Amino acid sequence: MAAALASESRERLATLLSLNSEGIYTCVHCGLCLPACPTYRQLGNENDSPRGRVYLMRAVIEGRLDPRGAFTEHIDLCLGCRACETVCPSGVPYGEMLEAARAEVAASGTAPLAQRMTRIVLKHLFTKPALLGFMMAMARVLRDSGLPQMAIESRLVAGRLRLGLALLIASGSSAKLGKPLRPAKSDAEIPGTKVALLHGCVMEGLFSEVNRATERVLRKNGCEVLEATGEVCCGALHAHAGDLETAKQLARRNIDAFEQAGVERIIVNAAGCGAAMKEYQRLLAGDPAYAVRAAEFSRRVRDVSEFLVEKELKPMTNSLNLRVAYDAPCHLIHAQRIVSAPLDLVRQAPGVEIAPLKGSEMCCGGAGVYNLQHPQLASEILAEKINNIAASGVDIVLTGNPGCHMQIGAGLLLRGLAVEVAHPIEILDAAYRGAQEDA
């Protein structure tokens, strides 16, 4: 019986991977991806490189490898940062192949316990907005109580709990950018480009002020910001964890919600969410009821920096006197291929000096919940970035993804460095202060 089940699992995995065989066989194993891969750089194991993992996928398809052992282990260790896609001369769609591999590892029941627990939480918490909202509210209460800071400073906690508390603390607002603005006359709705902001789950739950700052900057620059009633989690974490069916369900709900809002553009300020929503057309390509709608939906999705850089920004008059560095979220620079837009916007803010940051294009080790699943490896990947930030001598590090924000912020906190983390849109929002009544 056990042998029969194992055989069925192997066949199921090989079948789904076969659907991605064109991408798998496109890889010429040139090795240009090796220096770009965070896990290979840390571990030096060919199996923990993109071409090594692609080779393992090919071996499963060809029946030369049982997916239950080494295959599951090396697929699980991948961050999914997609830096390999940026440097690949053959255009291997590694991110899509990774999701397919994880989906079938999940279905085969061979995934590690941490992965299985993650999928349960994602499936039963992140698909229920009311329950998720309550949990996020409790997290904010804990964060703002000061207890996590006390626990870390007194060294009462260690391991994953210490890291988790540091991540929570890091989601707080930047003190160096001052208190958020209250709505002013210039923030009133005016006719203009109709847009809707994806509020998101973690963004609205822990970074609501970034969402409000995004809305203020959009309104300041001639946009009518509408609500997409019924929007839900984008499904990025589910897809990365191999739960493609739940990701598809969430995608359909978002397509319905934003279609009903009747907007020209769907604005996203979280890199991972934006990448996922731009790929709804691929995710739902086989759905006859949603394939065409998903393609149109993805066409209208814009990262906030991508959207604003196409406009002529209204002048910002409040000089900030800050030295900042920019760290590129993986799913912005590698998945969406948006490289310079955030920097182009920040350069227009008066009194902001942008310092170069070595390794800004490399993954920080956050990768959704990877840092909690593999804390030691994630910490080793993060260490180099924290060293580079310390050497840059900046006041604030800018990044446009909540997972990166929390991972880098936690690293700075645990290292005892007085450097804050903020979203690039918060720089623009702060630079508009003092001119709010002049619109």
Q: pLDDT by residue (tens digit) across 82-107?
A: 999 999 999 999 999 999 888 878 77
Longest CA–CA span in the chain (Å) reads 75
Contact 338, 413 (CB under 8 A): no
What is the predicted pLDDT for the residue at 179?
67
Contact 98, 75 (CB under 8 A): yes
Contact 244, 276 (CB under 8 A): no
What is the predicted pLDDT for the residue at 16?
62
pTM of the model: 0.91
pLDDT beyond 90 at 289: yes
Chain centre distance of CA 329: 7
Which amino acid, one-letter code, is at 21?
S
* Half-sphere exposure at residue 298, Cβ-oriented, CA atoms within 13 angstroms: 20
- If you write DSSP's letter for every residue of 265-281 in order, what string do you get? EEEE--HHHHHHHHTHH
The three-state secondary structure class of 398 is strand
Could you give the domains of the chain?
2-111 (1.10.1060.10)
Contact 200, 132 (CB under 8 A): no
pLDDT tens readout for residues 215-273: 999 999 999 999 999 999 999 999 988 889 999 999 999 999 999 999 999 999 999 99
